[in-house]
Amino acid sequence: MKIKPLSNRVLVKLNPGDQISAGGIHLPGTTEDRLTKGEVIAVGPGKVTDIGDTTPMSVSVGDQVLIDRLSGVPISEGQDKYNILKEDEILGVL
């Protein structure tokens, strides 16, 4: 994907949360499971403070992160699903 996030935004490729049963039936993720894992694909330069300094990002490309499934802006390209979200919406690095 050719998107460069701005400011303190992060592009995350979501790991598929759906499962396939032993019989081959496609089971979508439950609504109760709101957390999802993903891989950081691109990061912005960081947030610019009021005095003009740039705060460095705490995540980098390739990090595995945990996010809320409902956070950010969803983007799809083919079968792949992505989210663009602010750095502070990331719950943790795995």
pLDDT at 31: 47
Would you state the pLDDT for residue 42? 95
DSSP secondary structure, 16-48, as one string: P--EE-TT--EEPPPSS--EEEEEEEEE-S-EE
**Per-residue confidence (pLDDT) for residue 79, from 0 to 100:** 84
Mean pLDDT by 10 residues, the chain (94 residues): 89 75 59 78 93 92 91 88 93 92
Domain extents for the chain? 9-14+34-93
Under CATH, what is the fold of the domain 9-14+34-93?
A: 10 Kd Chaperonin, Protein Cpn10; Chain O (2.30.33)
